[in-house]
Structures are given as structure tokens and as C-alpha cells.
Structure 1
């Protein structure tokens, strides 16, 4: 890893604790579900683990990308627990519920990182197995794995200073 990539990975690491605490608090408050962190790793690629991803751009003193990656069943569980609607497929309602959940997690993490003067974009949803998410150049994203009552999911994040 080059010194540039190392510096950017260290900046990404600064975001880890606020992202973890935000994820846990939002899942507990909004979904009545307690996620447990099961892993933390650097990603060798930019392909999220699951087929449903809410992608949020972050700008300010640092630029980056935050991804909430869920399986189909977890996305359906989010819709059911958030608004009480049941379905058996990824549809617009599932995508909207996952976007809202990702927005709450990013907003909570942003509040804990106010020294970076971060702004967050509206989440975008990407679906399909094997999709790619692009991070700032030379950034090695961090992947935080969770398990919960509704299934496993990951939060991926990669940031660089401006």
C-alpha cells in the first residue's frame, strides 16, 4: 500500500466508531433490532457483499462513500419493521425503506464527525449481485459486518481528505 493509500485508509478508520454506533442505535430505535458487529476488514475490491446497496456520498473536509449493503431478505425485513408492509421482492417500497435507514445512519454518524464539516447526499439504491461501488481514488474501503435478528448486512466506507 502506498503512503497515500495508507493516509486515506487511516482517515477512513476515523469514521469507523461513529458508523458502528450510529448503525446500532438506528437499528435499535427504528427497527427494534440489535445488530452485533461480527467483523471489520479492508476490502480488496469495490463489490458489496449483498445484492441491495444504499450508497451515500459524503463531502466536506473529507470526501467519501458510505454503503449500506443488505441481502434481499434483510431489505424486506427493514420494510416490514420500519413501516409494517410485507412483500417478497425488492420493490420501490423496499428501496425507499432502505434509503431512509441509510440516511438515518449517515446523519447520525455525521453528527459525531462535525469537525469534518461533512455534507451527505441523498442515498441512491443499487441492486443486483456483483454490482460495483466507486470510492475516491486510491481509497481502500473498510467493511464492517453485522448480524441481527433480521439477518446479516455490511456497512462499507471509504474516505479521503480533500
Structure 2
């Protein structure tokens, strides 16, 4: 996957988490994913498609990270465990990050349609991307835990 397709996800993630949850994030070094296991305890998955590219984006949070992020978003004390409200918030965060990336990608002439996000709860759950192309993982750190954004975009084959 080209760097020009990765940077919009990095920029959108930083913008959404820092703006909506008043949580500073530090991006780590992107790398290729080597398995199909979910990184964290709560994961949002969203499909993306343009005329020439299709794939998906995943955002997966450790419980410590998402509980604090959601608390900051809602301006209330952190919950003690993941519940339906936290899972719903992950869906909203997934939408916002992917929407931000979509806007950035449009600036370089990639116009995507987005699916409705799906949420998965459970660490280590196997998740398959739409494409067999390599998945790029962008790790992020916060003061309260970590999360990752995964992007798997591949060129559509012409028939």
C-alpha cells in the first residue's frame, strides 16, 4: 500500500482522538500485519470502496485506552468495563476516523464510499480483511493505553 494512502488515516486518527476526546496520541512506526487477530478488546471495522480501490479500515483499542477516550468524549468518569455505550462510541470513532481519511483521500483524487461500521468485542478475535494484500498497521500510544489503526486497500482488478 502506498504511503499516500496511509497518511490520511494517520492524520484523521490524530485529529479525531485529540479533538473529540481531548487525548494526546503519538503515532508509532507503521508496519505490515502478520496475523489476523484483533489487537485490542474493542474493534471497529469499516469497508471502503472507490472506482479503482477497495478494502477496509480497522481501529482496535485496549480496554484502558478506550475507557479513558470515551470518558473524555462524554465528559464523565471512566467506566470500569466495556459496555454497550463504549462499543457504540467505538462505532462513532471508526466512522469519524474513516470519514476524515476519506476527505483527505479525496484531495488526491480517491473518492471512497463507506460501509456502516461493524464492532467486535474480544481480544484476539480473528478478523479477515476484504483483500489478501498486506495490511498496514499504524500503532498509537496515549497516556492511558494503546490502539491501532489498520488499513487494507487494494487496487480492483479490471474485468
User: Taking structure 1 as the reference length, what is the TM-score of the superposition?
Assistant: 0.87
Partner residue, 2:92: 100
Change (3 A) 1:31 1:107: same
Runs of 4+ with >3 A deviation: none
Residue 14, structure 1, aligned to residue 4, structure 2: yes
1:17 deviates by 0.5
What is the alpha-carbon distance in structure 1 between the residues aligned to residue 144 and residue 113 of structure 2? 30
1:14 deviates by 3.1
Residue of 67, 79, 92 corresponding to 2:70 = 79
What is the alpha-carbon distance in structure 2 between the residues aligned to residue 48 and residue 143 of structure 1? 11
Q: What is the CA RMSD across the aligned residues, in angstroms?
A: 1.4
Structure 1: state its 5+ residue gaps.
1-8
Change (3 A) 1:137 1:108: closer
Aligned length: 152
What is the alpha-carbon distance in structure 1 between the residues aligned to residue 66 and residue 17 of structure 2? 13
What is the alpha-carbon distance in structure 1 between the residues aligned to residue 131 and residue 101 of structure 2? 23
1:41 deviates by 0.5
Partner SS state of residue 111, structure 1: helix
What is the alpha-carbon distance in structure 1 between the residues aligned to residue 20 and residue 103 of structure 2? 18
> Contact conserved, 1:78 with 1:97, CA < 8 A, in 2?
no
User: Taking structure 2 as the reference length, what is the TM-score of the superposition?
Assistant: 0.89
> Contact conserved, 2:32 with 2:134, CA < 8 A, in 1?
yes
> Contact conserved, 1:78 with 1:94, CA < 8 A, in 2?
no
Q: Encode CA deviations 1:101-155: one digit per residue, 9 max, x unaligned.
A: 1111110100011122201112111011211221133211000001112321100
What is the alpha-carbon distance in structure 1 between the residues aligned to residue 150 and residue 111 of structure 2? 20
What is the alpha-carbon distance in structure 2 between the residues aligned to residue 105 and residue 89 of structure 1? 23
Structure 2: state its 5+ residue gaps.
none
